[in-house]
Amino acid sequence: MRTCVWLALLISLTAVGCQPTPDILRYFQNPEPQLTLRPKITTADRIASHGYPAETHKVVTEDGYIITLFRIPYSHKLQNQNAYRPIVLIQHGLFSSSDGWMLNGPNDGIGFNLADAGYDVWFGNARGNTYSRNHTSMSTNHPYFWRFSWHEIGHYDIAAMIDYALAINGQGQKAIHYVGHSQGTTVFFALMSSRPEYNAKIKTAHMLAPVAFMNNMSDKLVRTLAPYLGHHNGYAAFFNDQEFIPYNELFTKLGYNACAPNSKTHQLCNSIAYMLEGPESNTNRTGLVILAETHPAGCSTNQICHYMQEQQSGRFCLYDYGRTKNLQLYGQPTPPDYPVEQITSKVHLWYSDNDDMAAVIDVERLADKLPNRVMHHMEDPTWAHGDFASHIEVKKYINEPIIEIMNDYEQEMKM
């Protein structure tokens, strides 16, 4: 999003006859000597700014990606660092990162609420986003670095996060609670069905705006592009295996500095974010500036194509590489369906009527296949896809009910 804004600015200057001069271009070629920019703060910085202890952890996946986890190990309000603290892993959606869970601040953010309820809270970051752009043997300039979809995020990244959190917690816990939003639900379904042994490591799972089957979703952009990018063809081949909206350190710093609270353009960022969200949005307005500072956080184009394939096929299945490669990888000409019937962990599905990415009929189709699920339908007819993470009353309608379910589980385990 920020990259597009700055490119649009340059295009506008050109359109009105203000050609960029060599002096202006010099700032982009070597910005540091000419521009004094504050470094972009991390999720850990945001956590610590509210008084909570914050940790940063690097985890290596089985296939060599180095991903970042942020942690609130205990609550400074409870001083419960020596008490038993059940583990919770919170996973973001497409184009997002752990920063997305910071939008509602310490009073209404689910991570902070969980910490204050006595939990050991971990925020995941999928490969390819702002915090997970490293590999043991490849740089981001290597095309193979971006050769992954959300299947690999589930199969490798989420598995590594679960195992790492269990090991680092140090309290001998064997399972965790899980909270995922949008793509954070898709990767959970992919992992638990393709590696069913991980179901034993889940206490309760909370799927906010669950995305698996997508043929009835109403998002106009996806429905427009999916006929082109949702098939193994020339359009998809041109789009595949690359970073979506390439990361640029200068643009990232400019966006953060422009939208920082004490910036002269802070109110402009707020206004732009307001226009993007729309006047009918339920989003917490104070969090929109953080959204503008930190999003989109980066992903592979294959993640997008995989979703487009789902929309076109009406199936929840592995990535379609075309007949030849499918035969090599899967032993069949089309990709196999995820066996979601093998997801035995307790899955809570939180869904709404106004979600343009997760249609009710698609959520119900998924629910019919899950052997151990609980449905949570949002009564508010305006509740939209992003509201599950950033609604102005998310604490009341999402966070507190989830914490109550987790607390009930923990209490039952003690009996």
Compute the half-sphere exposure of residue 123: CA atoms within 13 Å on the CB side of its CA.
Answer: 28
Cβ distance 385 to 209 under 8 Å? yes
Say whether 206 is catalytic: no
Q: Which of 355, 387, 390, 391 is catalytic?
A: 355
Say whether 385 is catalytic: yes
Q: What angle do CA 240, 96, 344 make, to 5 degrees?
A: 90
Alpha-carbon gap, residue 174 to 80, rounded angstroms = 20
**249 CB contacts (<8 Å, ≥6 apart)?**
none
- Peptide linkage before 296 cis (omega within 30 of 0): yes
Compute the half-sphere exposure of residue 60: CA atoms within 13 Å on the CB side of its CA.
Answer: 6
Alpha-carbon gap, residue 37 to 105, rounded angstroms = 24
Q: Which of 135, 177, 306, 385 is catalytic?
A: 385
CA-based nearest residue to 370, from 343, 351, 348: 343
Instruction: Provide the H-helix boundaries in 133-217.
Output: 150-152, 159-169, 183-194
Alpha-carbon gap, residue 80 to 99, rounded angstroms = 25
Q: Which of 96, 97, 98, 182 is catalytic?
A: 182
Q: What angle do CA 209, 214, 219 make, to 5 degrees?
A: 75
Catalytic residues: 182, 355, 385
